[in-house]
């Protein structure tokens, strides 16, 4: 109180002095307290620290790099103050600030000097001391603030993880030496928990046995950048497997695991009590971990199981950490019985339309499958199968397997069998088309024929498969005759009747504007009329028809989607024009069409109708004389109970559901007036054949066809009796045609006896042909005749005359693989015998047999024998030709190919002992029967094709021949010409292996800047420079334009022959020096 009063008095004195010395400034050093109180006041409250930064015990981080401390003091009023602060143990202040007239509550920020960079301080405890000096004499303030600097992230402690099949859990511990842990964050597969306070986190709804990669982070409470992180991989547990058994066979079954474990899960599959399944699906006694194969479903096939046995399966799994599950529930599966063995003794027998396959029954089989030509058919329990509706002469393949509850067994070995070829019929509709220097002969194609012989003016010509023949180089107005027979592996038909014709003197215009209009089963062809002609011929797919004077033709009964060719010529007074250009038209496509190959065959009281079956047909309607009859599914019927010599008209259509095809073209036929002769028999000796048949009621005479020639009126029946006739000796067809019409000698009954016409129907008829050559074969048919007409011909029979021996032995033999024993009958007066073996003579053989040894299997040998008597040598026997038994069929050799642009002909040498041949054409096997050639047609120019051939006989198949590759000719050739300006040269054009030469067009293309044409045909003496026929050649120039020459060549080769040679020679003149090209095209 004393001190206070003294101070008050001192302040009063100072105040008075201040008034006296007004205008004089006072200051005080920091080392002294203020002794003047301006504005004076009676009392002052003690100053107080209200706030500071940093605050007491706060935590700062290294990121506080520009930190300005501040302090706020209260209970001040107009004071002049001096503020200072010190860091840690500093003795000099870092900053000093004087505040005049301080507010009642004064905040001071020490921003007059550089801030504090906390990153330069050590981590841990620090302090700042604030001091405040009052000018008014108030007490000084010393204020100390303690704080910490945190410069590091939390430290991780132990981490624990756990999992189930669907969850994973992670627990984290962490500490911080300065501050506290401020939060946790967990991330997995792109999903984050966000910052949470829990040190434990669980992920749910997971898949079993999958890895989960978890990243977890910990931060402290003061700085969000103080983060510590780590990563852990946690695996869910594997799910206990649940098995299913499927697809059981006799030795295998499928195990499927129905769990949802990771595809890479390992499993151990236990079988029964002591076996395990390996990765390959076989059983083992050692435990083994496997993985189920498959995508989506997990399935393994267990193999090598015993038939008809029960197996128990259970499984356990392990996850990717090799933590195993317990065994799952057990399942069982029982294997089936063993499949049956392969059928044995597969045998195939054939007709011309069917093949029947049979085999031995297999023990335990409950059924059989047969594969016929690549198609598998369930044959039920039958051990035979008949393959029907086949084409004659076609190869087919078969194999068989048996089946039971255990499934099908193995297939048998494959066998091949061909249907028998049908005997060819006599070619019909033989026509001739004469021109001035040639005659074209055509005839109908014979089903099943592989070729034709034509007799041309008495000369036999093999015409190949063509149904047309051109007789060239003839003189105008000359007479010619022709007849034809068909050929196939089954033999040859009888000769057709002769046709005769005369070559023409002049020509007729060719029809033009040929057009075709197709429909489903027919094509209508039309053309412009030709003035002055009397009719037209139309060639339809190679067959010529007389179309009368009509300028339209409808080609009916066609298969949908098939191609057909047509050309037309005009006729006048027995003369014909050249053919028009050929057109090609296709029927519309539809699987259901009109029946094709409709045929009728009449007898005296019945008519047989046949047609080809229509695919998908459900039945057929037959119209008989205007009445429609439902014929069911059969493609044939017989109209019986008819009156002889009556006309009947028929047509057929197919039907299915509510759809019917078009009718076939109607066929009209007349029944014969007489019954066809029956019971034809024949007997022969060395020089004659006697024919017997049952007499036909109403017949007055009979005709006999002998080797294709008809013998008429062999005897006559009249009211007075029956006369039998004997002809002179007949050995040739020409001799038969020259037989007299009046016969005097009588045979067969006693001369003078008579049989009435009424009795003749019960008497067998006999006719003898005499004067024939021994050991010759003949074909005979008979038909009945009366004044009203004839019957149909009987079925032909063949009969051979006997061999006449004279004084020559009758030779026979016993054949083995490497030897032949030749035997002959003993001859009267024989001293010894001579035998000729393959041209080598052996004499003085005293016995009647001879052993020919050391022969090659399958080789041919010739033998003949003669007698040596006291009078000398007698006549040789007939040559006995025999082949040793084959070792097996030999492989064909000398495979030769020759091609043109659209076909390739393959030929090979005949193999002794071969019954059939097969050729593989571009991988497809074709049976050629007994033929040693194959024509591959319909090819594209400049394409490669491969062929190989093998033989077949009773011993089986030979090895395939070497493969032969052939390339069709290119239709375009380019010539490079190196010429000098003004030079003339001949371009010689050739063609190799061209078939149907007259159907090709030859085109020359060139640049008119390079060449000019001098002569269109250098084969003649004169210059040819215009379109038209080239005189003296078979060449016709069809087009001559700038840069293009088009010509055709008639040629003399038959349509089945291949032709090679010079086509033409054209003279060009070069317009410039150097190289230029000319293109040659054959179409």
| pLDDT for residue 734 is more than 70 | no
- Note the pLDDT tens digit of each residue in 441-467: 888 888 877 788 999 998 888 888 888
pLDDT band at 311, cuts 50/70/90? very high
- Quote the CA–CA distance of 385 and 403 in Å, as a whole number: 16
- Quote the CA–CA distance of 62 and 123 in Å, as a whole number: 9
Nearest CA among 135, 158, 111 for reference residue 34: 135
Which pLDDT score is estimated for 16?
Answer: 37
Which of 396-405, 603-612, 901-910 is predicted with the least confidence, judged by mean pLDDT?
Answer: 901-910
Which of 298-312, 670-684, 855-869, 897-911 is predicted with the least confidence, judged by mean pLDDT?
Answer: 897-911
- Quote the CA–CA distance of 874 and 806 in Å, as a whole number: 10
pLDDT band at 476, cuts 50/70/90? confident
| pLDDT for residue 303 is more than 80 | yes
User: Taking a C-beta distance cutoff of 8 angstroms, is the pair 1014, 1023 a contact?
Assistant: yes
pLDDT band at 92, cuts 50/70/90? very high
| pLDDT for residue 740 is more than 60 | no
- Quote the CA–CA distance of 730 and 790 in Å, as a whole number: 24
Question: Quick one: 167 exposed, middle or buried, by C-beta within 10 A (0-12, 13-18, 19+)?
Answer: middle
- Provide mean pLDDT across the span 743-749: 31
What SS3 state is found at 497?
coil
- Quote the CA–CA distance of 118 and 147 in Å, as a whole number: 11
Which pLDDT score is estimated for 757?
Answer: 40
Q: Which residues contact 159 (CB under 8 A, 6 or more apart)?
A: 170, 171, 172, 173, 216, 230, 232
Dihedral over Cα of 22, 27, 33, 34: its sign:
positive
| pLDDT for residue 1072 is more than 60 | yes
Dihedral over Cα of 743, 748, 749, 750: its sign:
positive
Q: What share of the chain is helix, strand, coil (3-state, %, to 5)?
A: 5, 45, 50
Nearest CA among 395, 409, 372, 627 for reference residue 489: 395
| pLDDT for residue 969 is more than 60 | yes
- Quote the CA–CA distance of 483 and 348 in Å, as a whole number: 39
Neighbours of 832 (CB within 10 A): 12
- Quote the CA–CA distance of 243 and 298 in Å, as a whole number: 10
| pLDDT for residue 724 is more than 60 | no
> What are the structure tokens assigned to 448, written together?
């099943």
Which pLDDT score is estimated for 103?
Answer: 76
Cα Rg of the chain (Å, integer): 60
Beta bridge partners of 769: 689
The distance of Cα 1044 from the centroid of its chain, to the nearest Å, equals: 42
- Quote the CA–CA distance of 315 and 271 in Å, as a whole number: 9
Mark residue 698 as left, alpha or beta (left: phi above 0; alpha: psi -120 to 50; beta: remaining). Answer: left
| pLDDT for residue 42 is more than 70 | no
Which carries the bigger pLDDT value, residue 715 or residue 321? 321
Which pLDDT score is estimated for 956?
Answer: 65
> What are the structure tokens assigned to 473, written together?
């180089």
Neighbours of 812 (CB within 10 A): 14
- Provide mean pLDDT across the span 2-6: 36
**Domains of the chain with bracketed CATH:** 29-150 (2.60.40.10), 155-235 (2.60.40.10), 243-334 (2.60.40.10), 347-418 (2.60.40.10), 423-506 (2.60.40.10), 507-590 (2.60.40.10), 599-670 (2.60.40.10), 681-800 (2.60.40.10), 812-883 (2.60.40.10), 896-967 (2.60.40.10), 972-1082 (2.60.40.680)
Beta bridge partners of 126: 147
Which of 111-115, 180-184, 262-266, 741-745 is predicted with the least confidence, judged by mean pLDDT?
Answer: 741-745
Which of 98-102, 278-282, 435-439, 481-485 is predicted with the least confidence, judged by mean pLDDT?
Answer: 435-439
Q: Which residues contact 160 (CB under 8 A, 6 or more apart)?
A: 170, 171
Neighbours of 524 (CB within 10 A): 15
Which pLDDT score is estimated for 41?
Answer: 41
- Quote the CA–CA distance of 255 and 331 in Å, as a whole number: 10
Which pLDDT score is estimated for 464?
Answer: 81
Neighbours of 479 (CB within 10 A): 11
Question: Quick one: 960 exposed, middle or buried, by C-beta within 10 A (0-12, 13-18, 19+)?
Answer: middle
> What are the structure tokens assigned to 1059, written together?
């032709």
- Provide mean pLDDT across the span 34-62: 69
Mean per-residue pLDDT over the chain, rounded: 82
- Provide mean pLDDT across the span 288-302: 89
> What are the structure tokens assigned to 533, written together?
């002609």
> What are the structure tokens assigned to 860, written together?
């041919």
Which pLDDT score is estimated for 1059?
Answer: 61
- Quote the CA–CA distance of 188 and 159 in Å, as a whole number: 16
Exposure b/e, 713-745, CB count within 10 A at least 16 = b:
ebbbbeeebbbbbbbeebbeeeebeeeeeebee
Indicate the helix (H) or strand (E) that contains 113: none
> What are the structure tokens assigned to 192, written together?
């984050």
Nearest CA among 471, 427, 475, 473 for reference residue 451: 427
pLDDT band at 47, cuts 50/70/90? confident
Neighbours of 945 (CB within 10 A): 18
- Quote the CA–CA distance of 629 and 637 in Å, as a whole number: 11
Which pLDDT score is estimated for 769?
Answer: 85
| pLDDT for residue 176 is more than 80 | yes
Question: Quick one: 878 exposed, middle or buried, by C-beta within 10 A (0-12, 13-18, 19+)?
Answer: middle
Which of 283-292, 361-370, 814-823, 1037-1046 is predicted with the least confidence, judged by mean pLDDT?
Answer: 814-823
Q: Full-prediction pTM beyond 0.95?
A: no
pLDDT band at 172, cuts 50/70/90? very high
- Quote the CA–CA distance of 748 and 781 in Å, as a whole number: 19
- Note the pLDDT tens digit of each residue in 411-433: 999 998 888 777 788 999 898 88
| pLDDT for residue 774 is more than 90 | no
Q: Which of 135-139, 383-387, 611-615 has the highest mean pLDDT?
A: 383-387
Distances (CA, A) of 621 to 609, 635, 650: 12, 10, 11
Tell me the residue ranges of DSSP E strands in 6-102: 48-53, 58-61, 70-74, 79-87, 95-102
Which pLDDT score is estimated for 721?
Answer: 38
Which carries the bigger pLDDT value, residue 502 or residue 316? 316
User: Taking a C-beta distance cutoff of 8 angstroms, is the pair 126, 148 a contact?
Assistant: yes
DSSP annotation string for 580-593 = PPPEEEEPPP-S--
- Quote the CA–CA distance of 771 and 687 in Å, as a whole number: 5
Measured CA angle at 86 (ends 84, 88), to 5 deg = 165
> What are the structure tokens assigned to 655, written together?
């039907």
Beta bridge partners of 356: 349, 386
Whole-number percent of the chain with pLDDT over 70: 87
Which pLDDT score is estimated for 105?
Answer: 85
- Quote the CA–CA distance of 890 and 912 in Å, as a whole number: 8
The distance of Cα 315 from the centroid of its chain, to the nearest Å, equals: 46
Q: Which long-range contacts (CB under 8 A, 24 or more apart) does 29-38 make?
A: 30/82, 30/133, 33/133, 33/134, 33/137, 34/80, 34/134, 34/135, 34/136, 34/137, 35/10, 35/137, 36/11, 36/135, 37/11, 37/136, 37/137, 38/136
Tell me the residue ranges of DSSP E strands in 807-921: 811-815, 820-824, 832-837, 840-845, 849-852, 860-869, 872-873, 880-883, 896-899, 904-907, 916-921
Question: Quick one: 933 exposed, middle or buried, by C-beta within 10 A (0-12, 13-18, 19+)?
Answer: middle
Which pLDDT score is estimated for 419?
Answer: 82
- Provide mean pLDDT across the span 551-573: 86
- Quote the CA–CA distance of 975 and 957 in Å, as a whole number: 48
Which pLDDT score is estimated for 270?
Answer: 95
Dihedral over Cα of 655, 659, 661, 663: its sign:
positive
> What are the structure tokens assigned to 102, written together?
């301080």
Question: Quick one: 806 exposed, middle or buried, by C-beta within 10 A (0-12, 13-18, 19+)?
Answer: exposed
Which pLDDT score is estimated for 101?
Answer: 79
Dihedral (Cα; 941, 944, 945, 948), 10-degree rounding: 140
Residue that the structure tokens 């006296």 belong to: 20
User: Taking a C-beta distance cutoff of 8 angstroms, is the pair 1049, 1003 a contact?
Assistant: no
Which pLDDT score is estimated for 358?
Answer: 93
| pLDDT for residue 589 is more than 80 | no
- Quote the CA–CA distance of 560 and 35 in Å, as a whole number: 137
| 3-state SS track over 1002-1047 | EEEEECCCCEEEEECCCCCCCCCCCCEECCCCCEEEEEEECCEEEE
Which of 43-57, 544-558, 793-807 is predicted with the least confidence, judged by mean pLDDT?
Answer: 793-807
- Provide mean pLDDT across the span 177-192: 90
Which pLDDT score is estimated for 19?
Answer: 35
- Provide mean pLDDT across the span 542-568: 87
Which pLDDT score is estimated for 888?
Answer: 67
């Amino acid at each position: 109180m004393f001190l206070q009063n003294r101070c008050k008095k001192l302040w009063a004195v100072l105040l008075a002095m201040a008034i006296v010395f007004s205008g004089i400034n006072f200051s005080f050093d920091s080392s002294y307290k203020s002794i003047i109180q301006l504005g004076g006041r009676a009392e002052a409250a003690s100053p107080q620290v209200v706030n500071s930064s940093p605050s007491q015990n706060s935590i700062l981080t290294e990121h506080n790099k520009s930190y300005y401390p501040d302090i706020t003091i209260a209970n001040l009023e107009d004071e002049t103050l001096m503020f200072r602060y010190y860091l840690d143990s500093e003795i000099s202040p870092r900053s000093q600030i004087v505040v005049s007239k301080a507010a009642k509550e004064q905040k001071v920020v020490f921003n007059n000097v550089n801030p504090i960079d906390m990153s330069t301080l050590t981590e841990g405890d620090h302090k700042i001391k604030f001091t405040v000096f009052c000018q008014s004499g108030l007490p000084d303030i010393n204020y100390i603030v303690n704080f910490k600097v945190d410069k590091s992230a939390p430290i991780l402690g132990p981490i624990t993880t756990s999992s189930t099949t669907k969850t994973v859990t992670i627990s984290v511990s962490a500490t911080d030496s300065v501050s506290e842990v401020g939060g946790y964050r967990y991330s997995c597969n792109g999903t984050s928990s966000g910052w949470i306070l829990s040190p434990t986190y669980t992920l749910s709804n997971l898949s079993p046995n999958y890895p989960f990669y978890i990243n977890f982070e910990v931060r402290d409470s003061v700085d969000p950048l103080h983060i510590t992180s780590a990563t852990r991989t946690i695996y869910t547990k594997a799910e206990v497997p649940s098995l299913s058994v499927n697809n059981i066979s006799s030795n295998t079954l499928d195990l499927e695991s129905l769990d949802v474990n990771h595809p890479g899960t390992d499993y151990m599959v236990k079988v029964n009590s002591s076996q395990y399944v390996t990765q390959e699906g076989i059983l083992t006694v050692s435990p083994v971990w496997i993985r189920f194969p498959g995508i989506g479903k997990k399935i393994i096939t267990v193999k090598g199981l015993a038939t008809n046995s029960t197996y128990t399966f259970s499984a356990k799994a392990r996850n990717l950490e090799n933590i195993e599950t317990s065994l799952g529930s057990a399942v069982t599966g029982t294997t089936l019985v063993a499949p049956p063995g392969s059928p044995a003794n597969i045998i195939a027998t054939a007709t011309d339309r069917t093949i029947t396959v049979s085999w031995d029954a297999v023990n335990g089989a409950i059924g059989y499958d047969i594969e016929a030509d690549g198609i598998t058919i369930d044959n039920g329990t039958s051990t035979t199968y008949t393959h029907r509706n086949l084409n004659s002469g076609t190869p087919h393949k078969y194999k068989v397997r048996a089946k039971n509850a255990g499934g099908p067994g193995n297939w048998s070995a494959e066998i091949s069998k061909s249907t028998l070829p049908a005997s060819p019929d006599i070619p019909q509709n033989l026509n001739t088309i004469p021109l001035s220097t040639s005659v074209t002969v055509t005839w109908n194609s014979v089903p099943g024929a592989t070729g034709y012989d034509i007799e041309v003016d008495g000369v036999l010509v093999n015409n190949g498969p063509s149904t047309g023949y051109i007789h060239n180089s003839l003189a105008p107005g000359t007479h010619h005759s022709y007849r034809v027979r068909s050929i196939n592996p089954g033999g040859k038909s009888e000769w057709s009747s002769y046709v005769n014709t005369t070559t023409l003197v002049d020509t007729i215009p060719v029809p033009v504007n040929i057009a075709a209009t197709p429909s489903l089963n027919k094509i209508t062809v039309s053309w412009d009329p030709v003035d002055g002609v009397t009719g037209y011929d139309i060639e339809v797919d190679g067959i010529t028809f007389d179309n009368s004077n009509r300028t339209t033709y409808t080609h009916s009964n066609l298969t949908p989607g098939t191609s057909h060719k047509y050309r037309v010529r005009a006729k006048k007074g027995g003369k014909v024009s050249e053919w028009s250009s050929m057109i090609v038209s296709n029927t519309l496509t539809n699987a259901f069409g009109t029946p094709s190959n409709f045929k009728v065959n009449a007898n005296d009281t019945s008519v047989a109708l046949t047609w080809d079956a229509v695919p998908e047909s459900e039945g057929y309607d037959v119209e008989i004389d205007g009445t429609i009859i439902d014929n069911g599914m059969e493609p044939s019927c017989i109209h019986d109970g008819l009156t002889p010599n009556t006309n009947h008209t028929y047509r057929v259509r197919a039907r299915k559901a509510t759809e019917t095809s078009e009718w076939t073209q109607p066929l009209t036929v007349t029944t014969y007036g007489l019954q066809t002769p029956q019971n034809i028999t024949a007997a022969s000796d060395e020089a004659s054949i006697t024919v017997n048949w049952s007499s036909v009621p109403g017949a007055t005479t009979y005709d006999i066809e002998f080797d294709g020639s008809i013998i008429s009126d062999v005897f006559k029946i009249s009211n007075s009796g029956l006369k039998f006739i004997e002809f002179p000796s007949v050995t040739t067809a020409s001799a038969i045609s020259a037989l007299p019409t009046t016969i005097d000698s009588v045979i067969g009954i006693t001369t003078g006896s008579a049989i009435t016409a009424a009795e003749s129907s019960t008497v067998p008829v006999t006719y003898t042909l005499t004067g024939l050559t021994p050991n010759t074969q003949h074909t005979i048919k008979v038909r009945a005749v009366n004044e009203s007409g004839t019957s149909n011909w009987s079925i032909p029979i063949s009969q051979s005359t006997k061999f006449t021996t004279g004084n020559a032995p009758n030779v026979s033999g016993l054949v083995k693989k490497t030897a032949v024993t030749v035997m002959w009958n003993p001859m009267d007066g024989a001293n010894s015998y001579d035998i000729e073996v393959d041209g080598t003579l052996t004499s003085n053989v005293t016995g009647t047999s001879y052993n020919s040894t050391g022969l090659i299997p399958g080789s041919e040998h010739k033998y003949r024998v003669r007698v040596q008597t006291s009078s000398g040598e007698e006549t040789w026997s007939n040559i006995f030709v025999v082949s040793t038994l084959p070792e097996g069929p030999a492989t064909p050799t000398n495979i030769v190919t020759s091609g043109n642009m659209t076909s390739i002909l393959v030929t090979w040498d005949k193999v002794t002992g071969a019954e059939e041949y097969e050729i593989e054409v571009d991988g497809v096997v074709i049976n050629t029967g007994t033929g040693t050639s194959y024509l591959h047609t319909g090819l594209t120019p400049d394409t490669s094709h491969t062929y190989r051939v093998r033989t077949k006989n009773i011993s089986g198949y030979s090895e395939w021949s070497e493969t032969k590759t052939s390339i069709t000719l290119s239709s375009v050739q380019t010539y490079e010409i190196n010429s000098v300006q003004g030079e003339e040269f001949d371009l010689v054009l050739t063609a190799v292996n061209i078939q149907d030469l007259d159907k090709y067009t030859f085109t020359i293309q060139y640049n008119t800047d390079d060449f000019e044409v001098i002569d269109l045909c250098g084969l003649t003496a004169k210059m040819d420079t215009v379109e038209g026929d080239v005189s003296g050649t078979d060449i016709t120039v069809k087009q001559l334009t700038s840069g293009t020459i088009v010509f055709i060549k008639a040629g003399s080769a038959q349509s089945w022959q291949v032709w090679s040679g010079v086509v033409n020679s054209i003279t060009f003149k070069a317009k410039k020096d150097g190289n230029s090209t000319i293109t040659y095209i054959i179409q």
